[in-house]
Every structure is written in C-alpha cells, then in structure tokens.
Structure 1
Amino acid sequence: MSIKYPLATFTWDEAEYQALQDVIASNTFTMGERVKAFEQQFAKQLGSKYALMVNSGSSANLLMVAALFYTSAPSRRLKPGDEVIVPAVSWSTTYAPLHQYAV
C-alpha cells in the first residue's frame, strides 16, 4: 500500500480571492483600513490595548528591541550590557537590532 502526501495543498476559497481583489482595488497596500481593523481585532483577542502588524519577522525583532529599550517601565527596560539569548544559527536580523539599540 502506497500513501501519497501532497507537497502543497490548495486551501483558498472565493472569499480569500475577493479579499485580495478588494485590497488591490483600494490601491492601499499598507496601513489601510483592513490592516487597522486587523490590528484592533488582534489586540482585542489578546486582551491588549494595542497590536501592530509589520511586514516581516526582521521588522518585528527591531520593533520589539526598540520597545524594550524605550519602555517607560524601568524594571523592563533593556540596557547596554544586559544579557539577551538568541539562537546560535539564525539570520543576522535576529541579533542586529540588539546591537543597534543596546551597544
């Protein structure tokens, strides 16, 4: 007996294609109303006051390090010399934000 597993599967439906077309037709690909609505809904789901959507994990890393560096909560503030553990093998954008803010 031979079981075959597809490399990729098709899961989008008409609603997802329509959502793409709506964004394309709006000519607003970033910071539009759908992004704002998603951020608000995501924040609400997490029980947070705010949520911010970014374009990549690299941007998320930079934003998080900046937030820790500039936080108004002294006990949570990232300071030069603090130990931050990162993966040994990773993209440079995993540790570059730490160097940018905390050196």
Structure 2
Amino acid sequence: MTDTETVTVRYTCPHCGVVTSVERPPDLADRSVTKRTQPGWEYATPDDAFERREAADGLEFICGEDGPVTDLEGESVEGCGRPFYLNFVRYEKGVELEPEPPTYGGPRFDFRT
C-alpha cells in the first residue's frame, strides 16, 4: 500500500448479496458491478499492488476468497465462490466508454466511514 489516502469501500456480490470490502482512493471512478467481464477490459485482483489495481480497467473478485465477507449488517458470512467484476469508468481519446453490454440501474456501492 502507498502513502495515498484510502477509504474502505464495500461491493455487493451480484450472485449472492454478500459484501466484500477493499481499500480504494477516495476519488473513485467506479461504474458498475457485474457478473461478467467487459470485453477487452483488463482486471486486477484485490491482492495486486495498489498502483496495479488502480491502473486496471476494473477489479475481479472471487466472492469469499478475496478477504472476509459480511452480510449487509456487517456479520461475517461465507461467500458463494463465484467471480464478479467491478468496472471502472474508462476513457478513450477523452471520450467516456460505455460498458458492453450497458449496465442499467447504476452501480451498487455501500460507503461506510
């Protein structure tokens, strides 16, 4: 981890609804959490170096294997073991790229201080 300020951000598994937490910079550029990868996007894992994670197009989580998971109230539970993906906002030549397929309903985040 670097000396960069971070916050704990929680992401909900779209398969089973449990929550995974990861340290991220406070100036997030998150777009969505999906069950599938976006074509052509490169994903880091939560265990990758901080700089690698933030330089990727998103993060790949394995529910329950990438650190402890909880229910929405914060009680420890087991994850389902399936992958899910956090997709960052991406730009190409200054134009924001839309995910493929598009995501509807907005990202699912739970910020706690």
Fold match by TM threshold 0.5? no
Greater fraction strand: 2
TM-score norm. by structure 2 comes to: 0.18
TM-score norm. by structure 1 comes to: 0.19
Relative contact order: is structure 1 or structure 2 higher (C-alpha 8 Å, sep ≥ 6)? Answer: 2
